[in-house]
């Protein structure tokens, strides 16, 4: 699996009938140092991921093993919302830190 950050959405009306109800997220792949890369994937959302969250992306036939994924022509899915990534005994990413860091900005938006 690869680590990716949710950065957008893709909307389609005219599509394979079996894709009705599938939400497509645009996710940006993250490298081993926790940096965002220019690579992206459009994934079916299986976990209710929101903007800026980090997710685990499964590609290939694995994407059809998500709940309700069977028989759908999808080759990538967000299978988990990431809480923490630790490497070399250091915390590379923590969703709770992210939430705290983002709160001031989010709070500012509705005002």
Write out the residues near a second copy by the rule CB under 8 A: 1-3, 7-19, 24, 26, 28, 31-33, 38-43, 46-48, 51, 56, 58-67, 69, 71-77, 79-89, 92
Q: How far is the CB of 86 from a second copy (least distance, A)?
A: 5
Q: Could you give the CA distance from residue 27 to residue 34 in angstroms, rounded to a whole number?
A: 14
Tell me the CA distances in angstroms from 50 to 18, 33, 78, 89, one per residue in order.
23, 22, 11, 28
CA nearest 26: which of 38, 35, 17? 38
Q: How far is the CB of 107 from a second copy (least distance, A)?
A: 16
Please enumerate in sequence order all residues whose Cβ is within 8 A of that of 96, keeping only pairs 6 or more positions apart, or say none.
83
Q: How far is the CB of 95 from a second copy (least distance, A)?
A: 9
Nearer to a second copy, 60 or 103 (CB): 60
Q: Scan for tokens 């093993």, then name that residue.
A: 65
Phi then psi for 93, rounded to 5 degrees?
-155, 140
Nearer to a second copy, 42 or 98 (CB): 42
Nearer to a second copy, 22 or 103 (CB): 22
Q: How far is the CB of 24 from a second copy (least distance, A)?
A: 7
């Amino acid at each position: 699996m690869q680590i990716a950050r949710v950065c957008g959405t893709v909307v389609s009306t005219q599509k394979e009938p079996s894709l009705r109800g599938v939400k497509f997220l645009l996710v940006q792949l993250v490298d081993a140092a926790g940096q965002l890369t220019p690579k992206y994937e459009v994934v079916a959302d299986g976990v209710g991921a929101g903007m800026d969250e980090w997710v685990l992306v499964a590609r290939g036939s694995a994407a059809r093993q998500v709940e309700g994924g069977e028989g759908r022509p999808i080759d990538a899915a967000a299978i988990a919302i990431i809480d923490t990534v630790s490497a070399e005994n250091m915390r590379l990413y923590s969703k709770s830190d992210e939430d705290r860091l983002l709160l001031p900005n989010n709070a500012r938006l509705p005002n």
